[in-house]
Amino acid sequence: MLLIGLTFTTLLLFVDCASWNATCPTVSPRLLDLKELDGTWYLSAAASDLQLQGECATVQFQHGSSNTTTVSISWIQNRTASHYNGSAVAIADPNNNATGQLLMVNYDDQKTESYYFLDVDYEHYAVVFACNNSADGNSSTYELWKLSRRAHLKADDLAKINDAITKYDLQDTEFMNFNNTEECCKKNAGDFVNPGSLVMTSAVVLSIFRRF
């Protein structure tokens, strides 16, 4: 079994990317439908170095007429909403001759990352994965996201997510889980916006994704 380590930079508040003593797995990419990806997804759990804090974590995609999609990640802490934004396009996998695609996100802080969808049901759930090999050639770091169309991830959907994760031997990943219940989100409703974390992607201010 591959060993996976996960570090939290602040007690139960910050998420960090995962690392393991193996190079990135070969992922079978799937064709992506950016229009079907549109709308709000709840971030149920994540292993990532995105500095998410608090609760009510969501990811929003908005497909535009130029065949690009705006991406925005938001979360709420102490009644303050924070945001991280970018734009995305579907690209061919440069490491695979299959007909599938990756989602390449160009963040507004000039970072770029390409994400695989290990599995996706556009009406219910998605598993998002990105991986970078380390300079030593023997290890890598990765991000892994569990997304749901519902605030509560259904048991059947969670089982399918876990199957996709296990397929690539990522089942030992330590996730941070987010409280996205209606009661919690109402109680912590974002009355204020954290200007230090807000990035505008277009005329529309969105809220959600980032690179590791």
pLDDT at 1: 36
The whole-model pTM stands at 0.79
- Provide the 10 A C-beta neighbour count for residue 85: 27
* Residues of the chain below pLDDT 50: 1-15, 195, 197-212
pLDDT at 63: 92
> Token pair of 101, please?
């695609």
Nearest-angstrom CA–CA distance, 89 and 32:
10
pLDDT at 155: 95
Distance in angstroms between the alpha carbons of the first and the last residue of the chain: 24
Question: Which residue, chain included where needed, has tokens 């219940």?
Answer: 181
| 42-59 confidence digits (pLDDT tens) | 999 988 766 666 678 899
Which CATH architecture fits 20-193? Beta Barrel (2.40)
pLDDT at 181: 74
3-class SS string, 42-110? EEEEEECCCCCCCEEEEEEEEECCCCCEEEEEEEEECCEEEEEEEEEEEEECCCCCCCCEEEEEEECCC
CA-closest candidate to residue 104, choices 51, 76, 67: 67
pLDDT at 6: 30
pLDDT at 144: 94
Q: Where are the domains of the chain?
A: 20-193
| 1-54 confidence digits (pLDDT tens) | 333 333 222 223 344 567 777 899 999 899 999 999 999 999 999 887 666 666
pLDDT at 126: 98
Nearest-angstrom CA–CA distance, 206 and 168:
32
Cα-trace Rg, the chain: 16
